[in-house]
Every structure is written in C-alpha cells, then in structure tokens.
Structure 1
Amino acid sequence: MRTKESLSPNYRSIVHVLLDIRYIVQPSDGRQNGQVNADYSMLVMTGGTGTIIMDGSEFHLERGRCFIVKPGTAFITVSEAKRGLSYYQFLFKIWDLHRTDECEQINGSQFFYEGEISCRPFSQCIEIVEAIYRNRHTKEELEAFYNHVRFQELLRFLFQQNRSDQSSLLKRQAVENSIEHIQQHYQMPWTVEQLADLADVARWHYTRIFKEITGQIPLDYLNGVRIDRASQLLLTTDDRLFDIAQHVGFNNEYYFNRRFKQKLGITPGQYRRHHRNHTRVFAPFLEDFVVALGITPVVQCSHSKWGKQDYLGLHHVPVIDLAADDVDTLSRYKPDFIMLDKGMDKWMSYDQLGMLAPTYHINHPEEDWRMTLQRTAELLGKSGMVQEIITQYEQKAHAAKQALMRSVRGQTVAFLRISALGISLYSGPDHGYTGPVLYKDLGLAPHPLVGELTKNIRKIVLEGEWLERLDADHLFITFDKRHSITEGEERKILQSQSWLELPAVMNGFVYEVDFLTWMNYGILSHGKKIDDVMKVLA
C-alpha cells in the first residue's frame, strides 16, 4: 500500500480557484484606470480595438486575444477612437495544497507567463467563457460546482495551447514577425521556403505555426493580403487590371482574376464597376446585412404569406413577391449585382438569375451572423465598417443583459412559432433564430423543456403533454401563416384549453412579435429582438 509519505517530494497539488468574472465595456477613447490586483487576472477580448499597458509594455487588443496579468502587476486598458473595447476579466488564485498543512498561494505556475497567451480556436475558448459568465450568480450548489469545472476546462484548454518551451515561443514570435513582414512587403515573389528562412524556422514547423496563427497556409494568406490591397486600388485608382495585378505581386493577370474571384465571388472588373458606381443590389432575405452596411437594395423581397421585412424601414423600395413574381419581373429593376442565400431556387432559377446580373452565392452560416456580415461587406467594399457594427451590437446586448438580470432574475423564457400545423418550440443558446439572442446575448434563462427537447436541433413541435408542461414565466410567440388555408387559422390554438391553462397565458405574460423580424439571422433583426424584449421585460 502506498502511503502519503511515499509520494514523490516533487509532487505538487496545484489548484486554480476562480474568484470572479466580469464583463467590461469600455467606450471609445476610454481608459480603464490602472489596476493592481492581488490575484491573477485574465482578460479575454471580445470586441473593439485598443491597447493594454503592463508595467510599461504595450500590447495590441482586439477580439480573439487573451492576456494573463500576474498578482501585483499594474495594467491599464485604452480603447481606440470610434471602436470602444469589450472583454471578460477573470480573477483567480493559484494554490499549492501540498506545501504546507494549510493552503498556500503561489505566484508562479509552470503553465502561465505574463502577457499574451494563445487561445485558438477562439470559438472554443469564448464558448466556455460565456458559459461561465452566464452561470456566475447561480445559487444552486451543483450548478456552482459545474461552473468551477468549466473554469478548469478553460484553463486546460489554455494550458494545452501555451505549455510550449521557450524555444517554441521564440519560433512562434519569429513566425509572427514574418507575418508582419508579409503585410509590409506583399509585392515580393515569396515562396514558403523563403518565408521559413526569413523566420529561421524549419519549413514544416513554419507552415504549422503559421496556420495556427492565421488559420491559413502561408501562400493563401499572402494572396489574401494582395487581394485586399488590390480591392483598395480598384476603388481608388483608374489603373489597368494588369498594372494592379503587377503592383500587388501577381505576375499573371489571369491568375490574379482567378484568385480574386475565388475569394470575393466576382471578377476584379465587376468589383470595380459595382463599388465605384451606386451598385444596384438584389439580395433576397439578405437585405438585413446590406442595410446594416448603409446600402439600400434596388428591390426588396416579399412573400405573399409572410409579407416583407418592415423592420428594415425600406418603405420607399419596390417590392418583388417571391411567391408570385419571376425573373422577368426582377429584370425591370435592372440589378447590377445579385447576392443569394441557399434555397433561393425554390422561387427563381439560379441559371436565369445568373444571366440577368453577376450572381454570388454567399455561404451564410446562419447562427454565425458575424461571418455573414463580414462576407457581405467584402463583396460590397464595406469591410472597414464591420467591427464597429459588431461592437455597437455587443455593447447594446450587454447593457440590455445587465438590465434584465435585475428585472427577471430566476424567471424562465421560451419562444414559440405557431402555425396551422402546430406549435414549434425553438432551441437554446446555440441554435435557431432566437436562442442565441435570448439565452446567450441577453442571458435569459430558458425553460427546462428547451434544453430537454431541442438539444442540437433548431426547433421541435410541441404535442400533447409537452405543451402542458411548458410552465415558463414568459412566452414570446409569432404566427406563421404559410400553412393557413383560411384567414386566422393559425391562431385557433389560442382557444384551446391546454393553451389557456399555461401559467404565462393566465398571468398575461405572452408577447406576440413580428414574424420576419424574429425569424431572421440578421444583425438588425437581432437588435430589434433586443428592443422587443426590453419593452416587456426590463
């Protein structure tokens, strides 16, 4: 039998204890007063741009960066003009349970060093961070324990990313320096071997580290930098395409055209014509993103059952009914450029649309509206607006979340889509039109049935006993008229006994919302959802 005395003298029982987590929104040109914490501090950046100053050293701040500040270290965060800054701040201790009979805090760990640490893929990191933040005030003992487990999961994720030895850290810094060199000297005819030699890192190591940092292999990244610069020159000069291609580092105009279209979906010539003139855009059910970027579509889409997206305020823009009109009708408005999401071929032929105007099939990852906004901005020459739009949304959502925490703490919410076919319950914080806003951005508590029934699907039809078990404190509902044969058929469910006996119905806490506003993934629709929630719950 092994006894306590038989343990190795080098054995250490190190425990990381979460003390607090805060979400900080710093206004543009803001400055967070200098902090000197007695505990470890970890900053996870979520939006905006700025600088952190730690003991005289400056580091750039932007979404996706993470920093560790050791106890006793002074630091200041400064946001840039017009951008603001938002981040999560963790406070935690590191205890060595084996050094003495009583726990002893230590100011050192084999895993962490002061300054920036890697947190890639950031989507995985931020998912854990937001889960910890959502549950930080729980009064349930088991859930509080789970939150500490989540914190350990976060640290494990970070440890794995950052436990490299000093040699690896130096290699990573060398690759980062070479990336900065690419951004300044993109015109040069680089090969991967030359870039690896520049960093003094073996080629296979170089490519692996490069992809960890940028998400791309070196030459794809280089071509992306060149195309970004070419896009600027197409809008600001009258230079020939051949000259622009040569200037940014492409020695072949055909190859330049092919790579440009591969990234942006249209040729350089089309890009120049679209953006230097007032582009006449047709973007069915993607108008939300177009309007968010300050562009008015030449025509807006509508549906005979659903109507049009009135929340966009496009009252002066002509309407085309997808259920009744065809490509010939659309041709009267002479669009210069067509943006399509998947599924449009239910109403109009892709081939016919392509003959009418240059057509781009945008990959719309739906819940990831930020990516759709970025891709739309790239196509429309508005990339510079994206981060500010996202930051404004995040600041609005955070302010709303803080207010709702005071007004509806401990109360549950569910969202229902009602049609003549039945009642659909929408999913939790990771799926669907509504969950990411209600439960993630606003931090509202989903009714237990939401997690129990929907799990990894976006919605599920509630039947029989499931509807009777929906004792949520608040219900948001919308009506889908698509399957109705007679006027108002979808509302008959409101007369059933099972509906009338729901607690939210009896208490008057049922809120009807606009169908197309809520059945939408756009950033403007998400902002309207926040407004609707605040009107009734704040």
Structure 2
Amino acid sequence: MAKEISTAWRAGNRWERMEANIRFQELLLLVLRHAEAEPELLHNHVRELMQRSKAHIDAAFHHSLTREVLAAKAGMSVAHYSRLFKREFGRGPMEYLNEVRLSQASNLLIGSEHTIRETAHRVGYQDEFYFSRKFKAATGASPTVFINKYRNSARVASVAIPYTSHLLALGMQPYAAMVNPSQEPLAELRDTLEVGNDQPDLDRLLQARPELIIGFERTDYEEPDKADLFRHIAPTCTVPFHGEWRDHLRMIGRAVNRTEAADLWLEQYETSAERSRNAIQHQIEDQTVAVAQFENGRFQLFGSRNLGTVLYRDLGFAMPRELANVSHSQMLTIEELAAYNIDHLILFTGEEHQKREAFKHSIESNAAWRELKAARSGHIYDLGASRSYSCYTSLSHALFLRRATELFMSQTSMQ
C-alpha cells in the first residue's frame, strides 16, 4: 500500500496526488490505532530492530558504516534511528561503533603481530593517524605505549580455564583466574585470585583490578552480555576457542610477551609426539584407537578434537570409521559402543579406586561389553579420572600424550 501511495504521489496528476494523500492519512491512522491498541508489541518490534542493528555493528565494524547506512538497513530516517538507538543502548550508533572498533583494536594490538597501520585498517579506520588519536583519547595511551604496557603486565586475569593452563605452560602464574576444581591443578594456582568457577564472577574480577584480561569470544560464554563488560574492567585479549590449541598458546604467548616461550614449548611437544609415535606405531600399526569416559551408565566417546587430537593427529593412530564426522564427542550406550570398530579403547572410569573396581565387576558380566572388539582382545586401558586430561589445552595434551605412550608401551590393560 505504501509503495502504491508513493508511486501515485510522484507520477500522478493533481487528483491522483489528492487520492494518494487521503490514502496516506488512512494508512497513518491505521498505524496509530494499531500502536495504541498494542503498544507493547510495537515496543518489542522497535527493540528487536535495535538489537539487530547492534548485532550488525558487532559483525561488520570493519566495513564502512555510517548513520545513513545503518538507518537505511533499519528502515528508518537517520534522526529517528539515532534517537531509538541511543534510547536503547545509552549512546548513539557511531559512538557504539567506535567503542567496538577500539575494543577490537586493543585485542589485535595485544594478541597479534599486526602493525598499527594494519590494525587500523582491520577494524575499519582508513587513516592510521586518526586511529591513533581516537585510540589514545579512549585509552589514555598511544597504540605503541599500550602494547608495551600490557604485554609486560604481571596482573593478568584469565577468564577461560583452558587459557589458564596455557599461561602455566608459558611459565606464568596468572594474577587472577577462574578455578574449576574438577579440571585445574589447584596447587599451581594457590596464590592466584579466584574470579569464578564455571563462569566468570564480574564482582570478583572488578575487585581484582587486573591490568589485562584473557578470555573467550563473548558468544562462548553462557551470558555474552556480561562478557561485553570485560573491556570496561581492563584491556581484553580475546582468543577464539573454535581454533586449534597450538594457535591459542601462540596468541596468548604474544599477549603476555612470551612468544619465544610458546615456540619452545611447542617445539618440545612436537619432539615428544614424534618420539612417542615412532615408539608405538609398530605395535599398533593400522589398528583403531579410541578414548571414552564412562559416566552414569553411558560412554562419552571423544572425536577428533580434545583428547582425539592427541590420538589421531599427534600419535597418528587410526580413527574408528564411526567417528569420522564427530568433532568433540558423542554419548553412547554400551550396546552402541560395542557395535563400533574399536581395537584399543582408553577409558576413564572415575577418580576413586572403589568406583573403578565396581565398574570392572559390573561390566565384565555384561554381554554387550563382551561383544566390544577391544574387550575381546584385552585392549581396554583404564586411566581413572579424566580431570587432568580432558581440558582442550597444552598441559592436558602433554600429560595425555605421556600417559597414552606409557599405556601402549607397557600394554597395561584393565583386563
């Protein structure tokens, strides 16, 4: 209807324009009545539009965005759009765009090897000198001073448990960190301030007053909006968790000025992996190997990521064909597991000796278990608790590499 009104107004004679004007008044009356009858619906629609616009800025900050472009995408006039955006988020769209760009810039300056000019271009500024002025106005330091200050800071907070382990691998005890007793070696963190368990505790993080925060991307947290607040506490180095753990270690090494330590650690790990691979391969040859955790009557069978990375990439073992498209893991019943083509199975059964023994006794009498290829050949290896191995990080992988090598070298089966 609106399109017809517009066409008639632009191309018609005076009578058609008069008709178009009347139809416009009718349309306006309809909209106003609808808004009066359902104000909450209209408010929610506007709020959704603003949230979409904010999400677009978050995703496209490196492109050339103007108020005119953003308003047109939202289907509003520039003035109306700007007022609604500021009402919803407390600042205008361009102010928010600059916040996002400068936040991304600080992340790149700390965690990458990009030059200041490259950083400026990557976050949407074409003029590196203009970028430097904006950056200094926002942070109080030029990009160069900022890099030197925060890469050499001792007050580093880790708000991602895997990245805490990377810091420890680099020989750096974090000043503050999330601590999960089921995953972390607590003795190495006894002097570290705790800022949460499964999720970051913003109050504790604020009280800790770190100078640098290392964490996941916002979408990797249960409450992404809280993760947005990290940068208001301290400069934040964001390390995407979907990447490979070696890249995580290198990026964190750059962020804390320990690039050489990261390279050395990885070189030593690759040497250990090659040595283990050469020692074991002739025993295993092309037989398949898998790793699983037994919990609450079911088996969590790991795929190509996490523990599977050590087995299939570092040690070069053959993966069961059923795991070809499994990245992290899948849950299986004992009957489902028995149908898989697994020649050797590394199994986590629990931390307590009593529980492990109870599992052995219960499983040995299970007919489905006896159908499992690895069980028939006596190639089941019990590693007890998974807490020290299951985190996708450097120290856990190094430990699992060593223990897996010991198991296959000794051929110590639970059978």
Tell whether the structures are fold-level matches, with TM greater than 0.5.
yes
Instruction: Note the C-alpha offset of 1:228.
Output: 10
What does residue 331 of structure 1 align with? 206
| Larger radius of gyration between Structure 1 and Structure 2 | 2
Instruction: Note the C-alpha offset of 1:319.
Output: 3.7
Q: Is 1:495 equivalent to 2:362 in the alignment?
A: yes
Code of the residue aligned with 2:312 in structure 1: it is Y
Instruction: Note the C-alpha offset of 1:278.
Output: 2.1
Q: How far, CA to CA, are the matches of 1:421 and 1:321 in structure 2?
A: 30
Contact 2:195 2:202 in 1 (8 A): no
What does residue 296 of structure 2 align with? 420
What does residue 445 of structure 1 align with? 318
What does residue 382 of structure 2 align with? 511
Percentage identity across aligned positions? 18
Q: Is 1:300 equivalent to 2:177 in the alignment?
A: yes
Q: Secondary structure at the match of 2:221?
A: helix
What does residue 534 of structure 1 align with? 405
| Pairing partner for 2:240 from 363, 366, 376 | 363
Q: Secondary structure at the match of 1:423?
A: strand
Q: How far, CA to CA, are the matches of 2:116 and 2:170 in structure 1?
A: 21
Aligned residues: CA RMSD? 4.0
What does residue 219 of structure 1 align with? none
Q: How far, CA to CA, are the matches of 2:360 and 2:133 in structure 1?
A: 56
Q: Is 1:288 equivalent to 2:158 in the alignment?
A: no
What does residue 336 of structure 2 align with? 466
Instruction: Note the C-alpha offset of 1:353.
Output: 2.8
Code of the residue aligned with 2:268 in structure 1: it is Q
Tell me the TM-score normalised to structure 1 length.
0.44
Q: How far, CA to CA, are the matches of 2:345 and 2:397 in structure 1?
A: 17
Instruction: Note the C-alpha offset of 1:273.
Output: 2.4
Q: Secondary structure at the match of 2:388?
A: helix
Q: How far, CA to CA, are the matches of 1:493 and 1:228 in structure 2?
A: 62
Distance 1:350 1:472, change over 3 A: same
Instruction: Note the C-alpha offset of 1:493.
Output: 9.7
Q: How far, CA to CA, are the matches of 1:226 and 1:324 in structure 2?
A: 33
Which runs of 5 or more residues in structure 2 are unaligned?
1-111, 120-125, 137-141, 410-415
Distance 1:310 1:418, change over 3 A: same
Contact 2:350 2:384 in 1 (8 A): no
Distance 1:452 1:323, change over 3 A: closer
1:36-69 Cα deviation digits (max 9, x unpaired): xxxxxxxxxxxxxxxxxxxxxxxxxxxxxxxxxx
Distance 1:325 1:393, change over 3 A: closer
Instruction: Note the C-alpha offset of 1:476.
Output: 1.6
Instruction: Note the C-alpha offset of 1:504.
Output: 4.2
For residues 322-401 of structure 1, the aligned pairs below 5 Å read: 322-323=197-198, 326-342=201-217, 343=219, 345-346=221-222, 349-366=226-243, 368-401=244-277
Distance 1:276 1:457, change over 3 A: closer
Instruction: Note the C-alpha offset of 1:396.
Output: 0.8
Contact 1:280 1:297 in 2 (8 A): yes
Q: How far, CA to CA, are the matches of 1:402 and 1:379 in structure 2?
A: 35
Q: Is 1:432 equivalent to 2:305 in the alignment?
A: yes
Q: Give the number of the structure whose residues are more often strand, by fraction.
A: 1
Q: How far, CA to CA, are the matches of 2:322 and 2:147 in structure 1?
A: 48
Q: Secondary structure at the match of 1:294?
A: coil
What does residue 154 of structure 2 align with? 278
Tell me the TM-score normalised to structure 2 length.
0.56
Q: How far, CA to CA, are the matches of 1:257 and 1:403 in structure 2?
A: 57
Q: Give the number of the structure whose residues are more often helix, by fraction.
A: 2
